Every structure is written in structure tokens, then in C-alpha cells.
């Protein structure tokens, strides 16, 4: 579920065409705002998949998680039987949860008093309710968890699910990230800290990772969900296998609450840990789906980190940021970009970094500028870095039966 499409197929086709999901915000009046655009999910009605009363008791990020999870479960052919339910889990993270509910119910509290606050406020707003509702919907009685690690949350959910299966705590995990935080308070807050692009005259060209004229990220929303499954369990039921997850790394910058470490040390360590976990050499990575937010510091320091980890191979592998098209979906970004990484292996297609027009001397790698590229790679690495200096890295491998 992305600003480029409400399912995998439509999103993938949009990205292959190099289309931007950015436009002027329609969720609220932006007249008084310094930033007037975002990457919003379009033409989605939660009541198409949920009963009206049920939909009204959930936050929008949960709606997105349910829609993406339904698609993932259906595509996987997974049927959660009562005899297997305890070995099927959910791990769907979010950076913020339902910011809409927080703003709406706070306004009720101030204007009409505490008696007017909805009894469903808490269970629509808190971060773990996307995972909880998906668990209930599919009867998954295994591990049920969520992390709130900002922009690394979706990737952490997938990596932690990988570990749960490795430990034998689950056979199957429905995992990823979901976010819907394009709200007045959120946009005002990110704009106040000067994190957002202010290209109000040209939203579709605002997200430009690694470009010399980048001026901030474009806030996005959506959900990205994978079905992770223990190999023999998947083979026994004849599941269609897209790829293997083989490496996961975590690290902390211990530097600053918002700015990445200027030496790139946190990003360097998380990539090296994931590569070590995968049991491969750096030269075996063929493509990196970068965190690539389109902010001046992030793109510069991520490039620096890639060069430190990969040495001369950094100039031979491809790097691109799909946030140039989807915007930055915060806690959902790692889940969404994991889906893109897997599809890269399926289709032998590297997605582009669009709006790359002005080379930056500090960002001198192959960013697959503006056009997709056919290339067969065996390993794909996906980076996610979050406020607070929290980092996650996932490595996917082409599946060889």
C-alpha cells in the first residue's frame, strides 16, 4: 500500500515508469503551512475491506496494514489452521501509530471535555494495534509484536521476525511496517525542524535523493508486508518462494537524536553486521535499496558509509532510493522497501532514483538515475535509519531451489 498504488502490481508498475506519488495534500487545509504537499495514499476506502463500524474503531495505519497483509497472505496461499496457529505470528511496526486519533481526540478534550473522548481512542492510536488486528483477522496465535523505532521500524519488524523463525519460535511471520502520519501536527512538526522539502511549486520533483539540490524529505504513508516462512515449512505446502532473507543487522549511532553520525559509523556497522550475518563478502552485494531520504546530511553520510563498507566495489554496485517516488513513509518505509528489494530479485530490475539532475561531489556512486535498469543480482541490501540513531539492515538473496 503506497502513494503509487494500493497493491503490489500497481505500485510496481508505477515505480518502473519512474512516477512520483507526491501531490498537494488533500487530507487537511494547508493554507497556513510552510509545506503543502506529501505522498498520500490515493483512492483507498477502508470500508471496502472492513465493516463500517469495525473500520471506525481502527486507525488509518491499521487499515493500511490490514490491506497489505490480506494481499500478502492471499498471494502466499497461507491458510492458518487451528493446529498450526501457535506457530504463525505477526510483527507489524509503526513509527507513530495513529497521529490522526491523537489530534482529533485531543481537540475533543479541549473543546468539549474528557467525556467526549472516544472509548476507541487508545486502541486506534497505539503502535501495536496494526499487528494485533492482523493477528486477530488471520487467527495467528504465535508471536505478536511491534517496534516503534522511527524510520527503521518496518525493517526491524522483518529482521526480528527472521530471528524468531531462526530460534524456532514461529514457522511463519506476517511482518513489516505501516504508517499514516500525514496530519497537521506531524507536517508542522517535521517542517518546524526543517526536515521537509519546501518545493511547494513542484511537488513531483521535490524528493531528489543524492541530488545536489535536495532540500529535505517528502512525507509519505502506506504499508509493506512480507510473509517470512521457514524453508521446509514453505516447501512442504508448495508455497511460491520469491527470495530468501539471509542477513540482518542492527546498530545505534550514539550521536544525535536526528542527525546521522557524520563519520557514517552507525551505518557502516549495521551494514557490516548484516553482511557478516549473511556469511558473504561485501563484493557479493549487487544492489542497495538505500535509506536515501533526500535530506542533505543523510544522503551524504550514507554514501560515505557505503564507500567505507564496500571499498572499490562501491563504484561497481548499484544504489537507488525509491523514496524519490514514494516519499518517506517513516515507520512503514523499511517494510515497503523490503517488498521492492524482493521484487528486484524476481524481475532482475533495478528501480531508479528519479529527479537526479545535479550531481553532488559528495554523492558520487551509481544511483540508477531516472530510468530503471535491467540487471541480474544475487544479493540485495536494504538500509533503514531512524531518529534516535537506530539503524537496521536487511539482506535478501535470490532463491535457488
What is the rounded distance in angstroms from the CA atom of residue 3 to the CA atom of residue 371? Answer: 19
- Among 238, 304, 316, smallest CA distance to 266 is for 304
* Grid cell locating 340: 521492492
Degrees, nearest 5: CA angle 197-16-372: 85
205 is catalytic: no
* Grid cell locating 45: 476506502
* Grid cell locating 343: 521484487
Considering 175, 328, 363, 393, which one is annotated as catalytic?
A: 328
What is the rounded distance in angstroms from the CA atom of residue 295 to the CA atom of residue 13? Answer: 26
What is the rounded distance in angstroms from the CA atom of residue 188 to the CA atom of residue 388? Answer: 20
At 372 the three-state DSSP class reads coil
What is the rounded distance in angstroms from the CA atom of residue 24 to the CA atom of residue 40? Answer: 9
Lookup result for grid cell 490490514: 66
350 in the Ramachandran plot: left (φ > 0), alpha (ψ -120 to 50) or beta?
beta
At 86 the three-state DSSP class reads helix
Cβ proximity of 346 and 166 under 8 Å: no
Which segments of 30-152 does DSSP mark as H helices, in order? 52-56, 60-76, 99-112, 121-125, 129-138
Cβ proximity of 156 and 95 under 8 Å: no
- Among 299, 334, 340, 342, smallest CA distance to 148 is for 334
Considering 39, 151, 363, 393, which one is annotated as catalytic?
A: 151
Element holding 223 (H helix, E strand): strand 222-229
Element holding 227 (H helix, E strand): strand 222-229
At 49 the three-state DSSP class reads coil
Element holding 177 (H helix, E strand): strand 172-179
363 is catalytic: no
Residues 6+ apart with CB under 8 A from 388: 149, 150, 252, 257
* Grid cell locating 61: 495505519
Q: Which residues are catalytic?
A: 151, 291, 328
Amino acid at each position: 500500500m503506497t502513494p503509487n498504488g494500493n497493491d503490489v502490481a500497481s505500485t510496481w508498475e508505477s515505480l518502473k515508469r519512474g512516477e512520483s506519488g507526491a501531490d498537494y495534500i488533500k487530507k487537511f487545509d494547508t493554507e497556513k503551512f510552510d509545506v503543502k504537499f506529501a505522498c498520500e495514499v490515493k483512492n483507498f476506502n477502508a470500508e471496502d475491506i472492513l465493516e463500517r463500524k469495525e473500520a471506525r474503531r481502527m486507525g488509518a495505519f491499521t487499515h493500511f496494514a490490514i490491506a497489505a497483509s490480506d494481499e500478502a497472505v492471499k498471494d502466499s496461499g497461507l491458510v492458518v489452521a487451528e493446529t498450526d496457529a501457535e506457530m504463525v505470528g505477526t510483527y507489524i511496526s509503526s513509527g507513530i501509530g495513529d497521529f490522526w486519533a491523537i489530534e482529533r481526540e485531543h481537540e475533543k478534550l479541549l473543546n468539549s471535555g474528557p467525556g467526549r473522548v472516544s472509548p476507541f481512542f487508545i486502541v486506534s492510536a497505539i503502535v501495536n494495534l496494526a499487528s494485533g488486528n492482523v493477528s486477530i483477522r488471520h487467527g495467528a496465535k504465535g508471536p505478536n509484536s511491534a517496534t516503534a523505532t522511527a524510520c527503521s521500524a518496518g525493517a526491524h519488524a522483518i529482521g526480528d521476525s527472521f530471528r524468531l523463525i531462526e530460534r524456532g519460535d514461529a514457522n511463519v511471520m506476517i511482518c513489516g511496517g505501516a504508517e499514516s502520519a500525514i496530519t497537521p501536527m506531524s507536517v508542522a512538526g517535521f517542517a518546524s525542524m526543517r526536515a521537509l522539502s519546501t518545493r511547494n511549486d513542484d511537488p513531483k520533483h521535490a524528493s531528489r535523493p543524492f541530488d545536489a539540490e535536495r532540500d529535505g524529505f517528502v512525507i509519505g504513508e502506506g504499508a509493506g508486508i512480507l510473509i517470512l516462512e521457514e524453508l521446509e515449512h514453505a516447501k512442504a505446502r508448495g508455497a511460491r518462494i520469491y527470495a530468501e532473507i539471509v542477513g540482518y543487522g542492527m546498530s545505534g549511532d550514539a550521536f544525535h537524536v536526528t542527525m546521522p553520525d557524520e563519520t557514517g559509523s552507525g551505518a557502516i556497522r549495521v551494514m557490516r553486521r548484516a553482511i557478516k550475518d549473511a556469511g558473504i563478502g561485501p563484493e557479493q552485494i549487487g544492489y542497495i535499496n538505500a535509506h536515501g531520504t533526500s535530506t542533505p546530511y543523510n544522503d551524504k553520510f550514507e554514501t560515505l558509509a557505503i564507500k567505507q563498507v564496500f571499498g572499490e566495489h562501491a563504484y561497481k554496485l548499484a544504489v537507488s532510493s525509491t523514496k524519490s517516488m514514494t516519499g518517506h513513509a517513516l515507520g512503514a518505509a523499511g517494510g515497503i522497501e523490503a517488498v521492492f528489494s524482493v521484487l528486484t530479485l524476481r524481475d532482475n530490475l533495478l528501480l531508479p532514483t528519479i529527479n537526479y539532475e545535479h550531481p553532488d561531489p559528495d554523492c558520487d556512486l551509481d544511483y540508477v538515475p531516472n530510468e530503471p535498469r535491467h540487471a541480474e543480482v544475487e544479493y540485495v541490501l536494504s538500509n533503514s535509519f531512524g531518529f534516535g540513531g537506530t539503524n537496521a539492515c536487511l539482506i535478501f538473496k535470490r532463491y535457488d531451489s
